[in-house]
C-alpha cells in the first residue's frame, strides 16, 4: 500500500498539479447578426419631365415660307412635281398628252426629246424649253402638289427626299438652277409665279437663315 501511494505521488500528482495551473480555455463569443436599418419603400420614381416644346417660329419667317409655298405650288413648279407619275401642262393642271410619265428613260426616251435646250419657233403653243428638262426620279419624286405647308416644309429640308441637299444647297438650287429660272420665263403666254424670282429667293433665304422652321 505504501508503495502504491508513493507511485501515485510520483507519477500522477505532478500532472494533476500542472493541469490545475493551466488557464481555462476561453469560449468564443456567439456571432452577432448585423443590424440592417429598414429603409421605407419610396415607390417607383416619377418619369422625367418632358423637354419644353420649341418656341413658335417668328411670324415673319412663317409668312416668308408660306409665300415660298405659293410659288412651289403654282403651275410653273407643281406641273412637274405632281402627286402621281404623269406631269401636268398649262395653267389648269391638265394631264400631259402622249402617255408621258415619269421613268421614260427606261424605254429609251427622254423629256428632252421635245423640251429642247433652246426655244422652238412654230405656230400655237410650243413645249417649254430649258436645259435638263425632266421630272424628279421615281425614287425621289419630290411631290409639291396637295401637300400642306408643314408637309412640304418637312420634305424640302429632308436630304433623303430632296436630292441630298442641305439648307445651303437648297438655297443655291432655287437661286441658280436653270430649271428654276425657267418658271419666270416660260413663254407661250403662260402665267408667272406669284412672286418675282428675286422676292422668292429672298423669302427662301429668310426661312433658311432662321433654321428652316415648319409652320
pLDDT reported for residue 10 = 46
Over its C-alpha atoms, the chain yields an Rg (Å, rounded) of: 45
pLDDT reported for residue 37 = 60
CB 57 within 8 A of CB 64: no
pLDDT reported for residue 5 = 46
Q: Which three three-digit cell numbers place residue 100? A: 408621258
67 phi, psi to nearest 5 deg: -70, -35
- E strands, the chain, are 88-89, 94-95
Average pLDDT over residues 159-179: 96
**Packing angle between helix 149-156 and helix 59-72, nearest 10 degrees?**
90
pLDDT reported for residue 8 = 44
Average pLDDT over residues 108-135: 77
The answer on pLDDT for 158 being more than 90 is yes
The answer on pLDDT for 2 being more than 60 is no
The answer on pLDDT for 161 being more than 90 is yes
pLDDT reported for residue 61 = 97
Which residue, chain included where needed, has cell 438652277? 177
Q: What is the pLDDT of residues 55-111, one digit of tens each?
A: 888 999 999 999 999 999 999 999 999 999 999 999 999 999 888 888 887 877 888
Confidence grade of residue 49 (pLDDT, cut at 50, 70, 90):
confident
Q: Which of 75, 79, 71, 74 is nearest to 207 (CA)?
A: 71
Average pLDDT, the chain: 84
Q: What is the pLDDT of residues 10-30, one digit of tens each?
A: 454 455 545 555 555 556 666
Higher per-residue confidence, 9 vs 186: 186
* 3-class SS of residue 205: helix
The answer on pLDDT for 192 being more than 90 is yes
| DSSP labels, 86-132 | S-EETTTTEEPSTT--TTGGGGT--GGGTS-SS----SS------TT
Amino acid at each position: 500500500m505504501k508503495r502504491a501511494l508513493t507511485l501515485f505521488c510520483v507519477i500522477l500528482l505532478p500532472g494533476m498539479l500542472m493541469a490545475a495551473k493551466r488557464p481555462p480555455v476561453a469560449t468564443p463569443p456567439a456571432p452577432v447578426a448585423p443590424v440592417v436599418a429598414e429603409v421605407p419603400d419610396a415607390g417607383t420614381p416619377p418619369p422625367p419631365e418632358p423637354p419644353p416644346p420649341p418656341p413658335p417660329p417668328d411670324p415673319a419667317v412663317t409668312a416668308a415660307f408660306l409665300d415660298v409655298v405659293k410659288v412651289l405650288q403654282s403651275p410653273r413648279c407643281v406641273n412637274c412635281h405632281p402627286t402621281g407619275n404623269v406631269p401636268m401642262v398649262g395653267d389648269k393642271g391638265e394631264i400631259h398628252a402622249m402617255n408621258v410619265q415619269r421613268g421614260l428613260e427606261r424605254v429609251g426616251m427622254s423629256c428632252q426629246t421635245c423640251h429642247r435646250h433652246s426655244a422652238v419657233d412654230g405656230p400655237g403653243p410650243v413645249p417649254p424649253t430649258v436645259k435638263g428638262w425632266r421630272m424628279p426620279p421615281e425614287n425621289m419624286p419630290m411631290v409639291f402638289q396637295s401637300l400642306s405647308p408643314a408637309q412640304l416644309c418637312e420634305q424640302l429640308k429632308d436630304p433623303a427626299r430632296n436630292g441630298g441637299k442641305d439648307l445651303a444647297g437648297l438655297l443655291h438650287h432655287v437661286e441658280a438652277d436653270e430649271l428654276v429660272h425657267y418658271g419666270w420665263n416660260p413663254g407661250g403666254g403662260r402665267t408667272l409665279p406669284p412672286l418675282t424670282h428675286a422676292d422668292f429667293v429672298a423669302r427662301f433665304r429668310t426661312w433658311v437663315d432662321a433654321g428652316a422652321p415648319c409652320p
